Structure 1
Amino acid sequence: MKKFLSLLLGALLAVVCFVGCGDMEFDDDIYDDSATPEELGANPNAPEITLAHWDSSGSLEGAVLNTVLKQFYATHPDGQKIRVKVEIMGMYEQTMPTILASGDEDKPEIIMMPDGSFNSWMAQYASQFENLDPYIQKSGFDETKLWDGAVSRYKYKYENHSHVFGNGSVYALPKDVSPNVMFYNKDFFFEKQVEIPKNTDGSIKRMTIDEGVEMWRKLIVGEENKNALERRYALGNMPPESMVWSAGSDFLNESRTGFITDSRQIAGFKKAYQKMVDLVDEKIVPDGTSMSGSSTSSLFLTGKVACYIGGIYDTAQLRNSSFDWDITYIPAFEDNLNVNGYSGSVGYSMWSGTDSSLKDLAYSVIEYISSEEAQRIMTEMGFNIPLQKSIAGDTAFIDAQRAKKPYNYEVFLESLRYQPSGTWRYTRNNVWKERLSTEAAKLFQRSGYTVDDFVAALPGIVNGSL
């Protein structure tokens, strides 16, 4: 594993970080995801805390954190006062609630907080998380320097017998924020003589969904083959948010108490889901069963799809691929062309039961991961878009990313300006969304089940789940 990670990450990191990182240097020994704090330069006599993290990208998650922690130990004023043990957990979003609900008094001091779990975890286990406001005020951390919404998605308060999300105190600081974009295989595009459209000034053009369909039709290979595994689809996936939001609609009403009732929004919702049905019917996108068990990024890497919708977190593995690729904006409806997807994030919280003598040190680690220095490290590895807007506007920074791919790096940054957090932030749990998705699957599985049938069923399904 260590050899594999060295090869993968070695291809991603320069010996010296790009402009702005000064004398920050990286060594091969950090690529071991199981490296101990001492091997990374921690003071062996310092007290140890645990940082719990998920395994969504396998061992790469631990390797990325070890890279950041190595620099923390070397440069931060508190670096030699604490040791951080990274604990990668499988099935994290199921495992962590069990830990939080337990009476165990030995919980991880730093807890990775997915923004998709924040509402649910705060509604159930708010007492388990430390309010970070006093630490932020003491350190002078300035959230206005970060992308809009990067910190607010981790704010919470309980007021008038109600849970309020997105306002109140800060309970986590972000590690990253990633928008969705369309990755495309440039070799396949060249093969079919298809080009990504550009504006007159040479910048990447935002395509309408109709322009996207026209482009995707040219990229299908083997559509007459009855064996789906021997076809090449044009697009691996189309997130419902991309279609629904850009059609000027939504999934819930403004108060988040039920399914939409506004006639214009319902018309937009129907238009969005009909387009998703059409994409499958035209074999532009595979249905939910023909490629089951394979992630869209895997389908892209193995040449089964020419394009797919994904985030910055996929860049690390793609930079090591055998074919040429790039990114562009997700084609969307003209009603709301810029809001063509959602942004996702994970942050770090502090367990409220952390020993009082270690709380300031634990916060130092949390804040450091959001710092410009740490963000530059993770960006260099292809794992992050920097949280700081000032770095993202740095021409030298963008040029450095283009050199490593994607060349159209500005598409990440411009997408992030407009894409809100996902629908998981609407309510304290996602039961309504899971049931909506289950019902939506019938559009592709049941002959004769129409979008009108689907929409007619949703008030009872969604409202009964809220």
Structure 2
Amino acid sequence: MKKMIAAFGAFLLSSASLAHAETTLTWLMWGNTDAETAVWQHLADMVHEKHPDIVVKVQTAAWLDYWTKLPTLAAGNQLPDIVGLQSLRTTELSSILEPLDAYVAKAKFAVVDFQPSIIDGLKTEGALYALPYDLGPWLLFYNKDMFQKKDVPLPKPGWTKAEFLDAAQKLTANGNYGFATTSNEWLPFMLSAGANYIKDDAFDLTNDKLVNAFQAYADLAAKDKIAPQIPASGTASGIVAVGRFTSGSLGMMVDGPWDLVNVKGTAKFNIGFATIPADTAGSVTQVAGSGFAITQTSKHKDDAWIAIQEMTSPEAERYLVSQNRAFPARTAQQGDWYSKTGAGVENAREAMEYSLQHSVPYGVAPNISTFNALCEQYFPLAFSGSQSASDVLSSIQGQL
């Protein structure tokens, strides 16, 4: 009898264990610092708190390493269940990711609660591949103190290219420059001039509109001398521009809200936001962002779907804002960013809202990484005036 009771008790314990068995999900994310990894771990803990039967194990890789690691893991059939996805990489990585549309429809998940431009950015061929947690448009950062010292009117959302040029010329003096031409943040100026750089999902860099628009952009440094020369180096020209801006020697630069915390922490002057100057096509900027995706090889897709919903929930968005980690992809939580991270920045809300309303997804082609590297290599030749825009763009086009 005792043996029967013991056996029955063991059966009950085994059944209880099965009923409450945990699913362990693996999640690979970029993370360059311990602090950043701690943020992702907190999101994983939030999932477990709401769903005790799901455990999310966080793995991180440095930013540049992350994008080479994913294809390697895919080739070895070793992908985790969940991965981070930047909108610029959606097309090139879609083959290893699970489309989410069926999950969205079944759960009646409210995609409308997110900024439409980042939802579009995480789609390819109409299919959604990630739930977004952040986004940001390119816009102008400006040195408010320099503007006021030079008696230059502070820019307002919707300001024109003529007003931008006038301001940049007045700010250029005594070793300071009004603006910085860079090899990554140039595209909004092209779009605002009515030019495009992609056609039929491939780079189209030699069309007349783009050549003319890029020549005008390069001439800001080559002829107008309102932008400094930034030679090609191992450091991205945009990062060099941030350094010059925070040092106080640059009046304006193109950057995104993701960099505001770093800029505010370094600059010894007041900062303002302005929109991309309106040209012949108006003020057009690009929006990019990131989200969480499920891999095609995951054996726990349903649990992974539950997890990424929690990781992009309103509560998760508020947490990311509290850590200065994101401009929320959810529109209802964007006010938290304005009152915290954006506090004290002139026209932060006005410029951000205007930019988001006048933004398009960051258009990419499959060889986007090569394109970016070639721009860093060849653009300084146009900025110095040693080669024409046509020659530089033709050189890049020939290598794509």
Normalization by structure 2: what TM-score?
Answer: 0.80
- After superposing on structure 2, the runs of 4+ consecutive aligned residues of structure 1 that deviate more than 6 Å are none
Residue 291 (structure 1) shift: 8.2
Q: Which residue in 1 is equivalent to 2:389?
A: 451
Q: Which residue in 1 is equivalent to 2:241?
A: 296
Q: Which residue in 1 is equivalent to 2:220?
A: 278
Contact 1:326 1:407 in 2 (8 A): yes
Q: Which residue in 2 is equivalent to 1:99?
A: 73
1:462 aligns with 2:397: yes
Q: Which residue in 2 is equivalent to 1:167?
A: 126
Q: Which residue in 2 is equivalent to 1:217?
A: 169
Residue 211 (structure 1) shift: 1.2
Aligned in 2, Cα 1:312/1:398: closer, same or farther, shift over 3 Å? closer
**CA offsets per residue over residues 229-273 of structure 1, 9 Å max, x none?**
xxx3322345321221111111133x3456378xxx724640342
SS of corresponding position for 2:116: coil
**CA offsets per residue over residues 46-91 of structure 1, 9 Å max, x none?**
5543321223x644432432444454444x3x1x233333322122
* Structure 2 residue identity aligned to 1:186: K
Aligned in 2, Cα 1:46/1:382: closer, same or farther, shift over 3 Å? same
Contact 2:85 2:130 in 1 (8 A): yes
Cα separation, 1, equivalents of 2:221 and 2:149: 22
Cα separation, 2, equivalents of 1:377 and 1:398: 14
Q: Which residue in 1 is equivalent to 2:151?
A: 193
Residue 111 (structure 1) shift: 0.8
Aligned in 2, Cα 1:182/1:258: closer, same or farther, shift over 3 Å? closer
Q: Which residue in 2 is equivalent to 1:136?
A: 104
Q: C-alpha root-mean-square deviation of aligned residues, in Å? A: 3.1
Residue 422 (structure 1) shift: 1.8
Contact 2:84 2:293 in 1 (8 A): yes
Aligned in 2, Cα 1:411/1:110: closer, same or farther, shift over 3 Å? same
1:52 aligns with 2:28: yes
* Structure 1 residue identity aligned to 2:116: D
Q: Which residue in 1 is equivalent to 2:56?
A: 84
Q: Which residue in 1 is equivalent to 2:314?
A: 372
* Structure 1 residue identity aligned to 2:151: Q
1:116 aligns with 2:116: no
Aligned in 2, Cα 1:378/1:49: closer, same or farther, shift over 3 Å? same
Question: Higher helix proportion, which one?
Answer: 2
Q: Which residues of structure 1 form unaligned runs of 5+?
A: 1-44, 156-164, 198-203, 224-231
* Structure 1 residue identity aligned to 2:72: T
Contact 2:321 2:337 in 1 (8 A): no
Q: Which residue in 1 is equivalent to 2:358?
A: 418
Cα separation, 2, equivalents of 1:84 and 1:319: 33
Out of 318, 328, 337, the position equivalent to 1:386 is: 328
- Count of aligned pairs: 371
Contact 1:315 1:382 in 2 (8 A): no
Aligned in 2, Cα 1:379/1:215: closer, same or farther, shift over 3 Å? same
Residue 320 (structure 1) shift: 3.1
Q: Which residues of structure 2 form unaligned runs of 5+?
A: 1-20
Residue 454 (structure 1) shift: 4.6
Question: Quick check: which has more Rg, 1 or 2?
Answer: 2
Query: What is the percentage of aligned positions where both structures have the same residue?
Result: 21
SS of corresponding position for 2:293: strand
* Aligned 1:19-58 pairs, distance under 5 A: 46-55=22-31, 58=33
**CA offsets per residue over residues 249-307 of structure 1, 9 Å max, x none?**
11133x3456378xxx7246403422322334433222231887354333322334232
Residue 375 (structure 1) shift: 1.8
Q: Which residue in 1 is equivalent to 2:366?
A: 428
Contact 1:221 1:233 in 2 (8 A): yes
Residue 167 (structure 1) shift: 0.7
